Amino acid sequence: MVSSARCISTDPGSDAVVLLSGGLDSYTAAALAQADGFRLYALTVRYGQIHANEIDAARRVATALDVVRHVELDVDLAVFGGSALTGHGVIEHDQPPERPGIPTTYVPARNTVLLSLALGWAEVLGARELVVGVNAVDYSGYPDCRPEYLAAFESLAALATKTGVEGAPIRIRAPLVTLTKGQIIQRGVSLGLDYGLTHSCYTPTANGAPCGRCDSCQLRSRGFAEAGLRDPVLASG
């Protein structure tokens, strides 16, 4: 089963592949895995998102974590369309993130594609786990951020890989899945993470500043307020 916070001990030096987006969630999930003794291999996918800010942030985060290797991979999902994040549709502003329905920022099958790529790399590396920063408490209606989805993908991985068939399946580590955004930020701060390196906004300004109005900005702002902290990205404003 997918573990939101594993209680079992891990061998120091074990390898894990982390999906690194440049946001605060993937940064925190990666740092928690690293604190548990995993050596990190970071995968960032340029999937056709409409701005490069998060890619730049992923590079900063990978450097801060001192990952073993950081791979940036191009898989252009914008060719298919279907998401405001890839330039097809309008990104909604000033709407409550908890509103019913799937938001326009949902990218069809994105997490399945990204996890499959990470799974392939992990099998080549002999890595034991995939690390993802998905969250099901403060999420904005994405079906591929739920614990049920992660458990199903882990079962698929056990069936679809050589390592799984041979009795050593690759696990999914999702340490944030049951935490609020405020709890996530508190965990990261306790590890000394610099959230000023991260980027969360869907529609940043020309100079890269967050819009403050999209779902992602609202959730981030709410998280820092819950944690009783000021967002370092806004500290200079």
Residue 31 lies in a domain: yes
Q: What does the DSSP assignment read for 48-75?
A: S-S-SHHHHHHHHHHHHHT-SEEEEEE-
Q: List average pLDDT for each run of 10 residues in the chain, which is 237 residues long.
A: 38 82 97 97 96 93 98 97 94 87 93 98 96 82 91 97 95 95 97 98 92 94 96 78
Residue 90, domain member (yes or no): yes
- The answer as to whether 198 is a domain residue is yes
What gap in Å lies between CA 198 and CA 65, rounded to an integer?
A: 12
- State whether residue 30 is helix, strand or coil: helix
What pLDDT does residue 100 have? 85
Per-residue burial over 1-24, b if 16 or more Cβ lie within 10 Å, else e, is ebbbebeeeeeeeeebbbbbbbbb
Please name the residue that has the structure tokens 């820092």. 224
Whichever domain contains 33, its CATH number is 3.40.50.620
Would residue 7 count as lying in a domain?
no
Give me the phi and psi of 39, to 5 degrees please: -85, 135
Residue 79 covered by a domain: yes
SS3 per-residue string spanning 123-141 = HHHCCCEEECCCCCCCCCC
Number of domains the chain is built from: 1
Retrieve residue 115's tokens: 């996890």
Is the residue at 237 inside a domain?
no
Q: Does residue 91 lie within any of the structural domains?
A: yes
With both helix axes pointing from N to C terminus, report the angle between 181-190 and 215-227 in degrees, rounded to the nearest 10: 60
Domain coverage including residue 66: 14-227
In a domain, 1, yes or no: no
Q: What is the pLDDT of residue 236?
A: 52
Model confidence pTM above 0.85: yes
